[in-house]
A and B are shown apart, each in its own frame.
Chain A
Amino acid sequence: MNEYEQKILKCIKNREKSAEQIAEQSGLKLNGVYSTLELLADKNAVKMRIDEEVSYEITEKGRECIENGFPEEIVLKKASENALINQLEGAERSVGVGMAIKKGWISIKNGRLQITNDGIKILKEGYELKDLLKSRNANDELIKRGLLAKKIVKRKYASITEVGLKMLSEMPSSKQALIDRLSKEVIIRGDWKAAEFKKYNVTVPGETPILGGKHILKRFMQKIREIFVEMGFEEMEGGLVESAFWNFDALFQPQDHPARELADTFYLSNPKRINIDDRKLAGRIKRIHEKRWGSKWSFKEAEKAVLRTHTTAVSARKLHSMTLPQGKFFSIGRVFRNEAIDYKHLAEFHQVEGILAWDKANFRNLLWILKEFYRRLGFEKIMFKPSYFPYTEPSLEAHAYFKEKNSWVEIGGAGIFRKEVCKPLFNHYPVLAWGLSLERPLMIMLGIDDIRAFYKNDIKMLSKINEGALEWLL
């Protein structure tokens, strides 16, 4: 509400007033009052009423009559002096003589004006018509003679409405300037003590700040990390470049296993080989491979450098470095497959893996851990199916039920590491193990069809994905 609006509303607070009255009382300009009244009427703060008023104005001729006297008055005065009619000129002669005769004030005798008794009386008491003209009294004679003119005026009246009263009540009562931005000077000088604050429309959304934020995969990793730590697992980590020995041989995958082929695994030309430091361990692995798989085990093949195809290589190294016969460990890391990229497949993605080494561990413990782990991730209904991995026996797949899809979807593999894996590495058995891809459950939970969406790093897309995930990942 601006200053004009405030003043006008205050002015008509108690009763209806015309624009002119408002202008007069408020000291505002009449034009401004008119235009502001229009605005207030648009806001339904005032109700307008237009009234027609008749008034009379003294004409130029009338003003002369007041100043110099009516022609008949002049004639009357001359008659009192017995003047000759020929001495009269203009209006006195053309109008005044006739009027004075008609009113019975004078008569004419031998070319001279003679005053009557009525005339003497008027001279003594004054001319009534002149008073009427002065007070602009609607008099037919005056109008007819063109001394008084009739005028019609349209007048605007404004009265305050409920809305107007409300606006008025919300208005700061002080007459001081409103405080808009709260500046340092205002705060220090203490202006705010006496002043009012300009009111803002608090329902208008403000300007969104540029936000920092976590990547959805990292957010999900953190969630998984928390779950593992809550369940008593310790984190482990390994390098991306690994020897075939740790990636395959230590996990009892025969050297002619299809997964080791060029079509599935990235082999490196630099570095080409990675030395197997622990020759004793290599010897144990060699014996087991040759005993079980029948063919010769080659050091050269085992020393080939690869991009790790699974984080199970990290688990194998962990088992070998363990000093206690039991422990629980987990890892979350990048893994690589020499595959063509499409909406379902990436050459590089993340794997989550957990292991539990304990001489009393059993299959039912594995099922419990899987159920508990997946439950904490938000998958309530879990089912198990037989499966196969070269390094586990028994092996299984975990499937989760998705209400939205009304179907079971595979969400991870698990099993008990074979003796052939456990014994050479740390001479204890068994070890429960399970793994899942990081991206896949996220895709299912968030309804994302294209796995590449996570790595496109389009800020808009990422924040949209994040919105969908925030609550779930709490």
Chain B
Amino acid sequence: MAVIKANVEDLITLCGGAVSESNVAGLLDKVGAPLDEREGDTLYIEVTPDRPDYLAVEGIAYSLRSYAGIHQEINKNIKKSSYSIDVDNAICRPYIASLVARNVKLNLDAVESLMQLQEKMHETFGRKRRKIAIGMHNLDSISGKEIKYYDGNGDEKFIPLFETKEMSLREMLSKTEKGRDYASLIEDRFPIVSDSSGIIAAPPILNSERTKIDEHTSNIFVDITGINRNSVENAAAIVALALAMRGGEIESVDITYKQSGDHVTTPNLNDKLIQFNLNSVNKLLGSKFTCSDVADLLLKTGMQAIKKEGNKITAAYPAWRVDVYDDSDIAEEIAIAHGYNEFAPAKPEMFTIGRELNKKRALIQELMIGMGFKEICTFVLTNEDNEFKMLGIDSSKEKCVKIANPLTVEHTIIRKSIIPSMLRTIATNKKHKLPVKLFEIGEVVDENGGTNWVLCAAIYDELCGMQHISGVFNALISKFSIEYSASEHALPYMIPGRCAKVEMKNGIHAVIGEVHPQVLKNHGLEFPVGIVEVNIKGF
């Protein structure tokens, strides 16, 4: 989940009196952008992935105004700018959207907010710039009105943002930090946005130094490139909203895809329409909202009911909302506008019978506790050293579930047995009063990924031997009237001749033995350990 920063004064100004210092936190909760933390004048607001429009402080302000009933007129019927983009052979990132904003009132807060919008859009909605990347330029520094978008060969030169020397795009990949970070996204194709004087942007990596914006900029040109047409156009609407909230007059840009011959004009700020069924919304919410209730509530969410045919209502919603698909989305909008805590909880009149699975596990637990064992709960995520090396097992021959992308050396495999965790836990408690008697009933996973439940129990004591631990096993198994046969077994971590394997009719098996002194030493243990592990699936 993204967290965005907002200056409280700036937000209050943007909201035009809809919020105040005292009610801002409550209102943020109500519009689904909860306040995470406040540090002085800085608000940290949580934004969920369904609301990329909230990645802009301006987008949050728009919602707060709507909720409070102070509606902001955003001119949605925008005029065309004189700028156009020709898309020619853009294979790497095939789609582009663009817009022009004039007379934007930028100050430091506004510049920071726009930078944050870009950065957060890149991170989340833009999937780390792969899906979309946004570039903002000073319109007054752009030469000519005809912009080109194409894949270059890497030899083209420009001065990247915050650099002083001209370099080729290929050089940019190694010489700049952003180049190194995002080189993998372009796979040796070099998307270029250029005007009549040359490159203004090398998306998704860097803009040019020539067209950069600062707090004195008032006319802005925006390019948004990406691999999905809907996404770049949705992002254009969100950026347009942010700039319009800063007083900008938005103008559209014509885009022509040379290969397909498609013409598009972006941004499209016309409201989108959705038709929903009032009955199904009421049914889902358990509510009895009338058509006019719903119209009022929708207005609070920035939507507008515009048509009614029987139970079918058509609502218009802003172009920058990307999370509205069906009745359930409308139901949520209405529930939020009404206030979740205003709904009276209602007991579901539905009869079912409760049932617990695996009661045998609770019985085994009870028996073990009855024998004076303490229960432990250890991790199944572990590593080869802990599971094999410490037990004198040759890990190269062991097959188990392996993590493909471990974050640390601690977590590389999933355990096949609880015995290694048990020995480490005894080591944790070796200073405790003897005897230390522990057990765990938990999951182990076989090499094919199958989960099994096992019981592992161990005794750490001065006078602990095979007879003590196998006595525990016998006491346990005798409660389940299971026939079994034991035979001598050899395991690298058990003393030779003091380890038994037990086979039972219904596929249950167990190992019982005295742990080998070398393994005890590996774990820093000074007294013997008797240990048993039983697969309890068939109990």
For A393, list chain B residues within 8 Å (CB): 328-329, 331-332
* Contact residue among B48, B231, B284 (Cβ-Cβ distance under 8 Å from A416): B284
Whole-angstrom distance between the alpha carbons of A229 and B347 in the complex?
A: 16
Chain B positions 357 through 396: 1 when the CB is less than 8 Å from some CB of chain A, otherwise 0: 1100010010011111111111111000000000000000
* Contact residue among A210, A217, A327 (Cβ-Cβ distance under 8 Å from B352): A327
Please tell me if the beta carbons of B402 and A269 are within 8 angstroms of each other in the complex: yes
* Contact residue among A336, A356, A369, A430 (Cβ-Cβ distance under 8 Å from B381): A336
For A307, list chain B residues within 8 Å (CB): 381, 403, 414
A347 interfacial contact with B, CB 8 Å: yes
B80 interfacial contact with A, CB 8 Å: no
* Contact residue among A237, A294, A360, A395 (Cβ-Cβ distance under 8 Å from B230): A294
Looking at the assembled complex, report how far the CB atom of B377 sits from the nearest CB atom of chain A, in whole angstroms. Answer: 5
Please tell me if the beta carbons of A267 and B428 are within 8 angstroms of each other in the complex: no
B interface size (C-beta, 8 A): 93
Whole-angstrom distance between the alpha carbons of A235 and B124 in the complex?
A: 36
* Contact residue among A257, A340, A368, A455 (Cβ-Cβ distance under 8 Å from B378): A455
Please tell me if the beta carbons of B374 and A459 are within 8 angstroms of each other in the complex: yes
* Contact residue among A338, A340, A348, A369 (Cβ-Cβ distance under 8 Å from B379): A348
Q: A268-B403, A327-B352 are in contact. Are A240 and B286 (CB under 8 A)?
A: no
Q: Which residues 251-294 of B have a CB within 8 angstroms of A?
A: 283-287
Beta-carbon nearest neighbor of A221 in chain B: B377
* Contact residue among B329, B332, B351, B451 (Cβ-Cβ distance under 8 Å from A241): B451
B404 interfacial contact with A, CB 8 Å: yes
Chain B positions 427 through 449: 1 when the CB is less than 8 Å from some CB of chain A, otherwise 0: 01100110111101101010111
For A338, list chain B residues within 8 Å (CB): 405, 407
Please tell me if the beta carbons of B372 and A212 are within 8 angstroms of each other in the complex: yes
Please tell me if the beta carbons of A385 and B407 are within 8 angstroms of each other in the complex: no
Chain B positions 219 through 255: 1 when the CB is less than 8 Å from some CB of chain A, otherwise 0: 0000000001011000000000000000000000000
Please tell me if the beta carbons of B331 and A233 are within 8 angstroms of each other in the complex: no
Chain A positions 208 through 222: 1 when the CB is less than 8 Å from some CB of chain B, otherwise 0: 001111110110001
* Contact residue among B428, B432, B443 (Cβ-Cβ distance under 8 Å from A240): B443
Please tell me if the beta carbons of B352 and A234 are within 8 angstroms of each other in the complex: yes
For A123, list chain B residues within 8 Å (CB): none
* Contact residue among B332, B344, B381, B406 (Cβ-Cβ distance under 8 Å from A348): B381
Please tell me if the beta carbons of A460 and B403 are within 8 angstroms of each other in the complex: no
B41 interfacial contact with A, CB 8 Å: no
Please tell me if the beta carbons of A386 and B32 are within 8 angstroms of each other in the complex: yes
Q: A266-B405, A457-B378 are in contact. Are A419 and B326 (CB under 8 A)?
A: yes
Please tell me if the beta carbons of B50 and A459 are within 8 angstroms of each other in the complex: no
Q: A240-B451, A369-B348, A385-B340 are in contact. Are A362 and B374 (CB under 8 A)?
A: no
Please tell me if the beta carbons of A358 and B414 are within 8 angstroms of each other in the complex: no
Please tell me if the beta carbons of B374 and A212 are within 8 angstroms of each other in the complex: yes
Q: Which residues 325-343 of A have a CB within 8 angstroms of B?
A: 326-328, 334, 336, 338-341
Please tell me if the beta carbons of B49 and A236 are within 8 angstroms of each other in the complex: no
Chain B positions 325 through 342: 1 when the CB is less than 8 Å from some CB of chain A, otherwise 0: 110110110011000110
Q: A240-B443, A241-B451, A455-B377 are in contact. Are A363 and B343 (CB under 8 A)?
A: yes
Interface range on chain A (Cβ under 8 Å from partner) = 35 or more
A454 interfacial contact with B, CB 8 Å: yes
For A269, list chain B residues within 8 Å (CB): 402-404
Please tell me if the beta carbons of B437 and A386 are within 8 angstroms of each other in the complex: no
Chain A positions 391 through 413: 1 when the CB is less than 8 Å from some CB of chain B, otherwise 0: 00111100000000000000000
For B355, list chain A residues within 8 Å (CB): 229, 234-235
A276 interfacial contact with B, CB 8 Å: no
Please tell me if the beta carbons of B372 and A211 are within 8 angstroms of each other in the complex: yes
Q: A361-B348, A364-B345, A455-B379 are in contact. Are A229 and B449 (CB under 8 A)?
A: no
Please tell me if the beta carbons of A388 and B407 are within 8 angstroms of each other in the complex: no
Please tell me if the beta carbons of A267 and B445 are within 8 angstroms of each other in the complex: no
Looking at the assembled complex, report how far the CB atom of B251 sits from the nearest CB atom of chain A, in whole angstroms. Answer: 27
Q: A270-B400, A363-B331, A383-B341 are in contact. Are A348 and B380 (CB under 8 A)?
A: yes
Please tell me if the beta carbons of B414 and A386 are within 8 angstroms of each other in the complex: no
Looking at the assembled complex, report how far the CB atom of A460 sits from the nearest CB atom of chain B, in whole angstroms. Answer: 7
Whole-angstrom distance between the alpha carbons of A295 and B348 in the complex?
A: 39
Please tell me if the beta carbons of A367 and B343 are within 8 angstroms of each other in the complex: yes
A90 interfacial contact with B, CB 8 Å: no
Shortest 10 CB-CB distances between A and B: which pairs? A362-B286, A388-B48, A229-B354, A364-B286, A368-B345, A241-B449, A394-B332, A386-B32, A212-B369, A239-B451
- Report A's interface with B, CB cutoff 8 A: 210-215, 217-218, 222, 225, 228-241, 256-258, 262, 266-272, 274, 292, 294-295, 305, 307, 326-328, 334, 336, 338-341, 347-348, 356, 358, 360-365, 367-372, 383-388, 390, 393-396, 416, 418-419, 430, 454-460, 462
A–B complex contacts, Cβ < 8 Å, 29 sampled: A210-B372, A212-B370, A212-B371, A214-B369, A218-B441, A232-B352, A237-B357, A240-B443, A258-B49, A258-B127, A267-B403, A270-B401, A327-B352, A334-B380, A339-B407, A347-B381, A358-B350, A362-B283, A363-B335, A364-B343, A367-B346, A386-B29, A387-B48, A393-B331, A395-B332, A455-B378, A457-B438, A458-B428, A459-B429
- Report B's interface with A, CB cutoff 8 A: 29-32, 34, 48-51, 124, 127, 130-131, 228, 230-231, 283-287, 325-326, 328-329, 331-332, 335-336, 340-341, 343-348, 350-358, 362, 365, 368-381, 399-408, 410-411, 414, 425, 428-429, 432-433, 435-438, 440-441, 443, 445, 447-451
